[in-house]
Chain A
């Protein structure tokens, strides 16, 4: 299988503090890759280096075939990104946000209009077309943010704790959307600290204090750590952690 992402020795320091500490991994095309870790483990920081908005202190890698150091602007054309903090425009309507980001990624007016109709129908969102985003409930905002992130059909979508603060029913719906995207051939790179969600991923890496301490399929990890669940695997690893809450 093709690798859509390959990283080795990726490091980010803030002053003396090493937020991400020589991590190496690769991600296969079409895969759902879970990027796990406690709060403060360095997930967001690592993801930002992969998306080309944070300059690595050391290490190298490629994303969607482009060098993360030198070709970061080219990477941006080929990825979608959903930030940990909701960051669509609250004072724009649902359709206006979709249109804006469609336009930013270079889609034509006509395509944007057609795809918007189809998307709203699929999400059963048509009655909210003209709602200002700030009036949507959190779960819907997250769904919209995800839909916007993959609207331009990127090669890879980066999701930073997409289900943070959302109720379990909504989280399941959200994961259904992730599967749909993966079925369309979009590689999914998702961070979470909900361990039950780890089971939904093809492979997961577990980050502790900036390092990747384990990386494999959920089944293989359970076997390796002789654990009944991913939660247990995680607790064994997190025991030595110094950071986090």
Chain B
């Protein structure tokens, strides 16, 4: 498609001549990575936790000690059963309950994955979400600690089998970010926000600008087809989005020491899948706006929904049913989840494949809608 080359060339020229866009591309990541995380850093410390230890083993006690020693938790009580813990929670004496199953140590010894059941006080959703993330981190940490201990104390021939074990619920994670804090939790979310702005909103506003100046009219009387026009609009923003993403991932590492516990390739791959879906939404917005005023209104509306119902600040699980329903069709939510899993929980591409599948589905639906609703003829 030779026409596409000319159109993309035009878009890049205009992008770099725009008085705002190049500055935004530089300023946004800086704001988002350097300023915002501090501004919104309501880091939660001193979460009161009850540990229900059914296992009563050396391992479970060590885990409890680790939790008690962490600066995020205050060990409120070690009640004998779950009911007592619930009662404590109802009395407002504790914020969180961690339940360690009876088979915890047996499972560890038998080299099988173990499930640490967790109940989270949902009165304060953010606290619950962060708290369970902290616990996950500590459990992960503990697990890799055990693994290295066992590997060192065992003869070489059994090391091969050691590689699999012991796993507690989640793949042991690298200790790049042992001091888990609120910033590490928010930064993956801010990366999603950046992609949303660059690959969703900027192309939408760009197209509506062409409507306002009347240049799109001139394009419409030419043989340029709608897919060509839309693609030429999007490709430059996709490129910029990916570059900004790479810069952000690097900056997050250099500034905060934050690196995906899972694979960085998976992070970029998920970003790409997300980019397709969010630009589809951007095109739809532009198709339904005749001028910048209408477009700005729609953009505001969608940004609020995407972010507030996207699990960035408030966990989806603590939302009312209708909000959860919206979150379940919110691409922002799926990438935020995915990024946090990849960054904080050490998940693999396979673990997040469900989310990516949803994002791919959104891409198909949104882009199909975008192409159909693009009117070349009035």
Contact = CB atoms under 8 A, between A and B. Distances in A.
Interface of A: 48, 51-55, 72-73, 76-77, 79, 81, 83, 85-92, 96, 99-101, 103-106, 132
Nearest to A97: B10
B377 A72 contact: yes
Given A53-B221, A53-B378, A103 B14 contact: no
A74 to B, nearest CB: 9
Contacts of A48: 378
Given A92-B13, A100-B6, 20 more contacts: A53-B377, A53-B378, A54-B378, A77-B223, A81-B218, A83-B221, A85-B217, A87-B213, A87-B215, A88-B218, A89-B14, A92-B10, A92-B14, A96-B10, A100-B7, A101-B222, A103-B5, A104-B3, A104-B7, A105-B223
Interface in B191-222: 213-215, 217-222
Contacts of B17: 91, 132
B376 A53 contact: yes
B233 to A, nearest CB: 14
Interface centre among A83, A89, A92 (most CB of B within 10 A): A89
Contacts of A88: 215, 218
B221 A106 contact: no
Interface residues of B, number: 26
B123 interface: no
Contact of B214 (A51, A79, A87, A92): A87
A149 to B, nearest CB: 9
A83 B222 contact: no
Interface string B1-25: 0110111011001100110000000
A53 B220 contact: yes
B217 A83 contact: yes
A103 B214 contact: no
What 9 A-B pairs have minimum CB-CB distances, sorted nearest first? Answer: A103-B6, A87-B218, A81-B221, A87-B214, A85-B214, A87-B215, A104-B222, A77-B223, A54-B378
Given A52-B377, A72-B377, A106-B3, A90 B223 contact: no
B218 A53 contact: no
Given A76-B221, A85-B214, A90-B213, A96 B3 contact: no
Contact of A53 (B2, B3, B217, B223): B217
B224 interface: yes
A107 B218 CA distance: 17
